[in-house]
């Protein structure tokens, strides 16, 4: 590391606020560089001096009379109550009940949404076949017809195709 | 305790805030550098804490919340004073009375200490001062400091770095003997 790269970490090194990996790199540089070493020592000393001053500083406290008066002033103000809905939700029994209800609703919804398992689907089909009226057998699309009508002459040609794509023209 | 106050037991408020009685006043003093402002700031902090207790998230730290109110209150007070452009005479700290019993030597020492620390803090910007006080004087960690000041940990590190550098320069320039003692 260079002096320039190291210097920005020195104040944080003094308070042990850099990662161990980076601290090792910075310390390796400090061993080689007396200038940076001096700077970090000065920052640490200044930090200790400031902390020492703060500790020794005689700080005041409220006198008991002031504290009592202050409390009276403070508690004379109206405390802003939580809205009733928030208070209700914060009651454990209510919150538990609500959570249970949401869970049950979610489970129901999921049950409807999820695809049926094969055995469930089979059972459902069997039931529908026995209970519901079966639809009439339809003739199916065994035969397909195609009609062409000439606009000029009015000639009408009808082709009939069977399953094997064999066709007949105007079979009547 | 918070729930008790919110359910109407006002007496429960005192034990809730008593642990912060002196620490908040001290921090307010170190931010405002004036005991009257410090008391006003502290009182306003307790008042807001009481008034808006319902907005406090009980899952979070009450200490962080109340310190956050204090910092904001101190900032607001400062803005208000600047806006009013009030001509205030803040007696130099060395002239302020100190409570050191009847020992004039101790009183003088206290004045000097107060003056030195205030002088060091004077060179810092508002944000640097708040961060330096919370991290280095109050001993909070970076994350807690960032949480109270509503900024990122990176921002705390940057300001803390700058604050420490400035304090070192100030001490080196004005009170070099403080560095000498420790060498």
Residues near A150 by beta carbon (within 8 Å), at least 6 away in sequence: A156
Is residue A9 classed as helix, strand or coil in its secondary structure?
coil
The count of other CB atoms within 10 Å of the CB of residue A170 is 10
In terms of CA atoms, which chain B residue is nearest residue A50? B117
How many residues in chain B? Answer: 183
Tens digit of pLDDT per residue, chain B (183 long)? 777 777 777 788 888 898 999 899 989 988 888 888 899 999 999 999 988 888 888 888 889 999 999 999 998 888 887 766 544 444 444 444 455 455 666 666 666 666 778 888 888 888 999 999 999 988 889 999 999 898 999 999 999 999 999 999 988 888 888 777 554
Per-domain residue ranges of chain A:
3-56, 142-172
Q: How confident is the model at residue B94, as a pLDDT? A: 44
Instruction: For residue B95, give the DSSP letter.
Output: G
- Decide if pLDDT at A81 tops 90: no
Pairwise CB contact (< 8 Å): B6 & A42: no
The CA-based angle A24-A25-A29, given to 5 degrees, is: 115
Q: What is the mean pLDDT of chain A?
A: 80
Of the partner residues B39, B117, B182, the one whose CB lies closest to the CB of residue A54: B117
- The secondary element (H helix, E strand) that includes residue B60 is none
Pairwise CB contact (< 8 Å): B99 & A60: yes
Structure tokens that stand for B2 in this block: 């918070």
The CA-based angle B166-B172-B177, given to 5 degrees, is: 140
Q: How confident is the model at residue B158, as a pLDDT? A: 93
Give dist(CA A54, CA A10) in Å, integer.
22
The architecture in CATH of the region B103-183 reads Orthogonal Bundle (1.10)
Ranked by mean pLDDT, the top range of A117-121, A133-137, B87-91 is: A117-121
Task: List, in sequence order, the alpha helices (H) in chain B.
Answer: 2-6, 13-17, 21-32, 35-51, 62-84, 104-122, 126-132, 142-149, 153-174, 176-182
Mean pLDDT over A6-23 rounds to 88
What would you report as the CA-atom Rg of chain A, rounded to the nearest whole angstrom? Answer: 45
64-83 of B, contacting A, C-beta below 8 A: none
- The secondary element (H helix, E strand) that includes residue A97 is helix A92-113
Give dist(CA A44, CA A15) in Å, integer.
8
The count of other CB atoms within 10 Å of the CB of residue B92 is 10
- Residue A140 pLDDT class (50, 70, 90 cuts): low
Q: What are the residues of chain A with a beta carbon less than 8 Å away from any beta carbon of chain B?
A: 8, 11-12, 14-15, 17, 41-43, 45-51, 53-54, 56-62, 66-67, 70-71, 73-75, 77-82
Of the partner residues B46, B98, B182, the one whose CB lies closest to the CB of residue A58: B98
Give dist(CA B111, CA A82) in Å, integer.
47
Phi, psi (rounded to 5 degrees) for A113: -80, -35
Q: How confident is the model at residue B95, as a pLDDT? A: 45
Q: How confident is the model at residue B175, as a pLDDT? A: 82
Helices A34-56 and B104-122 cross at an angle (nearest 10°) of 130
Determine the distance from the C-alpha atom of residue A66 to the mean position of all C-alpha atoms in its chain, rounded to a whole number.
50
CA nearest to B161, candidates A8, A36, A41: A8
Q: How confident is the model at residue B91, as a pLDDT? A: 47
Q: Does domain B1-89 have CATH number 3.40.640.10?
A: no
Nearest C-alpha of chain B: how many angstroms from A104? 27
Pairwise CB contact (< 8 Å): B182 & A49: yes
Q: How confident is the model at residue B41, as a pLDDT? A: 92
Instruction: For residue A158, give the DSSP letter.
Output: E
Q: What is the pTM of this model?
A: 0.63
Pairwise CB contact (< 8 Å): A57 & B117: yes
Q: How confident is the model at residue B92, as a pLDDT? A: 47
The C-alpha torsion from A88 through A92 and A93 to A99, rounded to 10°, is 90
Pairwise CB contact (< 8 Å): A75 & B13: yes
């Amino acid at each position: 590391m260079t002096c320039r790269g190291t210097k920005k970490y020195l104040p944080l090194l003094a308070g042990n606020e850099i990662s161990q990996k980076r601290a090792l790199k910075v310390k390796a540089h400090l061993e080689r560089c007396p200038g940076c070493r001096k700077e970090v020592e000065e920052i640490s000393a200044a930090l200790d001096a400031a902390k020492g001053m703060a500790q020794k500083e005689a700080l005041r406290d409220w006198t008991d009379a002031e504290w009592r008066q202050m409390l009276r002033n403070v508690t004379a103000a109206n405390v802003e109550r939580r809205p009733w809905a928030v208070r209700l939700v914060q009651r454990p029994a209510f919150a538990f009940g609500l959570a249970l209800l949401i869970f049950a609703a979610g489970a129901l919804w999921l049950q409807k949404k999820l695809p049926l398992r094969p055995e469930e689907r089979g059972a459902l089909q069997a039931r529908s076949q026995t209970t519901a009226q079966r639809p009439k057998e339809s003739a199916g699309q065994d035969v397909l017809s195609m009609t062409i009508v000439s606009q000029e002459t009015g000639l009408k040609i009808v082709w009939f195709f069977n399953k094997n794509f064999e066709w007949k023209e105007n079979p009547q | 305790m918070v729930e008790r106050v919110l359910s109407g037991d006002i007496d429960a408020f005192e034990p809730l805030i008593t642990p912060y009685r002196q620490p908040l006043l001290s921090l307010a003093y170190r931010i405002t550098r004036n005991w009257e402002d410090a008391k006003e700031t502290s009182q306003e902090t307790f008042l807001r804490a009481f008034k808006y207790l319902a907005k406090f998230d009980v899952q979070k730290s009450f200490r962080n919340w109340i310190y956050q109110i204090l910092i904001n209150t101190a900032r607001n007070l400062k803005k208000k004073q600047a806006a009013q452009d009030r001509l205030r005479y803040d007696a130099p700290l060395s002239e302020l009375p100190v409570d050191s019993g009847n020992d004039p030597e101790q009183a003088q020492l206290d004045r000097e200490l107060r003056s030195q620390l205030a002088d060091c803090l004077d060179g810092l910007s508002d944000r640097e001062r708040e961060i330096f006080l919370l991290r280095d004087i109050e001993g909070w960690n970076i994350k807690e400091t960032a949480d109270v000041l509503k900024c990122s940990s990176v921002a705390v590190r940057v300001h803390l770095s700058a604050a420490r550098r400035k304090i070192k320069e100030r001490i080196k320039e004005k009170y070099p003997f403080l560095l000498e003692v420790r060498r």
